[in-house]
Amino acid sequence: MPSSRNDNPDSIAAIATPLGQGGIAMIRLSGPQSLAIADASFRPADPCSKPSAAPTHTLHFGRIIRRGRVVDEVLLSVMRAPRTFTREDVVEITCHGGLLPAKMVLDTLLENGARLATPGEFTRRAFLNGRLDLAQAEAVADLIHARTELAAAAAEEQLAGKLSRRINVLRDDLMKTLAHVEAHIDFPDEDIAPDTREKLLERLQAALGFMDELLSTASDGRLLRRGIRAAIMGRPNVGKSSLLNQLLGQERAIVSSIPGTTRDTIEETASVRGVPVVFIDTAGLRQAGDEIEAEGVRRSRHTLAAAELILHVLDGSKPAGEWDHKLLTEYAGRPRLLVRNKADLPRRLRLPEGLAAIDVCCLSGAGGEALKDAIKEAVWAGGIPAEMLQVMINSRHEDALRRGREAAARVLAALRAHLGLELVALDLRLAAQAVGEIVGKTTTEDLLDSIFSQFCLGK
Ligand SMILES: Nc1nc2c(ncn2[C@@H]2O[C@H](COP(=O)(O)OP(=O)(O)OP(=O)(O)O)[C@@H](O)[C@H]2O)c(=O)[nH]1
Ligand SMILES: [Mg+2]
């Protein structure tokens, strides 16, 4: 069970759609007074369909009235507990888009007794009321922030409870072992029978193996959630901005035959075989001609230092110059791909022994797909099997699992060495607790605050 429950909650309201102009906006209201607050704010077109008298999961047309004046024409939906996102009475009001109508509807609800929701508070209530566990609640945020279809698919699996189910099995297993060990503590004369000990060891071994399997998904999970940063680097005029545009499939950066065109860094995200990649176009590296270019070069260096992958672009139609060699040596130790551009022109570039490049032509787009494969291969060798997608853990899960694994490994060693069972029980309890944190069986207010504060308002 979650550690804190909402025994007498107030009713909360927030605008759930992004702020700005749009076709419609939606205001969400949740809590025990939702229907009463809706009654006070809403005048139904059909006088019989007062929200508090309406059946659950029904939609009503009418007006929001504030201090006797019409605020907006709206559609209001009534959803009664417990079949709602928060498991409380929920009212959703759809009004005309644009900041003002939505804000005035919200103000009306606040004046009639609702409190403004904090970020993620609806999802927090869904968690506290047992509608979602903690891993599922995090999946809601992952889904909202997903930048590729693959990331969204992973979030959907987590939301559906695939990870949670396995974590619960693991925790139950540890608890069963604990019960066994504790039973023997109560009868201090008897040691654990050899065959029982064998069984316990086997079960623990399996639990450790499973934890390792989950832990191995952490780096891919991180990749899917936040993607990687790939900086496009090279001498001026080699076609860096052209390459950025080609990878994005849009004319994002200015391309010109004048060396030193790009002054500032430009970044944009694209999906490369399912991985979100933030491509960063940088100013060409050379002895800067003026103050602005010097600042551009400084920014390029800064970006390059932080990038997880470097796409080093070279002009295939020109012999390698001093700067090419300089950059080839300078970034030799970093994860990088060499991209030989201008494949449509006669090749004059000779690469130093042992270096291989991918040939592309940014004018025709030739070589683009091979480059994307190489990028994917560089960051994500092997790809992600479908069953792994179901249990892609995040860094919080990783931390909890590591602690759980350490404790379980101590248990294994202690059992093998016939050490005292009290100590074994203590570590088993620690392991089960750490694993339980993932789904929120054990939580603290601070942990919940840190998770839900990352959500948007109205979610
Ligand atoms: N023939 C040929 N020209 C290309 C190709 N790719 C880019 N160019 C040309 O090369 C010139 C420089 O391209 P940019 O993309 O602006 O080069 P850059 O590396 O961003 O240059 P800076 O921003 O000045 O550092 C432009 O005139 C492009 O049209 C290519 O594949 N073949
Ligand atoms: Mg450029």
Q: Which residue has the tokens 């790809």?
A: 383
Tens-level pLDDT at each residue, the chain (459 residues): 343 445 568 999 999 998 888 899 999 999 999 999 999 999 999 988 899 999 999 999 999 999 999 999 999 999 999 999 999 999 999 999 988 999 999 999 999 999 999 999 999 999 999 999 999 999 998 888 888 888 888 899 999 999 999 999 999 999 999 998 888 887 766 667 778 888 899 999 999 999 999 998 888 888 888 788 999 999 999 999 999 999 999 999 999 999 999 989 999 999 888 888 999 999 999 887 888 888 988 999 999 998 989 999 999 999 998 889 999 999 999 999 999 999 999 999 999 989 999 999 999 999 999 999 999 888 876 566 666 777 889 989 999 999 999 999 999 999 998 888 889 999 999 999 999 999 999 888 888 888 898 888 888
CATH annotation of 164-217+391-439:
1.20.120.430
Residues with CB under 5 Å of ion ligand 2 are 240-241, 261-262
Q: Where in the chain is the domain with CATH 3.40.50.300?
A: 226-379
Q: For ligand 1, say whether the CB of 22 is within 6 Å of any of its atoms.
A: no
Instruction: Specify the CATH number for 12-122; select among 3.40.50.300, 3.40.50.970, 3.30.1360.120, 3.40.50.800.
Output: 3.30.1360.120
Q: Where in the chain is the domain with CATH 1.20.120.430?
A: 164-217+391-439
CATH annotation of 226-379:
3.40.50.300
Closest residue CA from atom 32 of ligand 1: 342
Q: Which residue has the tokens 């449509």?
A: 344
CA of 256 to the centre of ligand 1 (A): 6
Closest residue CA from atom 3 of ligand 1: 342
Determine the atom of ligand 1 nearest the C-alpha atom of 313: 19
CA of 281 to the centre of ligand 1 (A): 12
Out of 233, 242, 256, give the residue to mutate to test ligand 1, the one with the largest number of ligand atoms within 8 Å of its CB. Answer: 242
pTM of the model: 0.76
Determine the atom of ligand 1 nearest the C-alpha atom of 262: 23
CB 90 within 8 A of CB 79: yes
CA of 358 to the centre of ligand 1 (A): 16
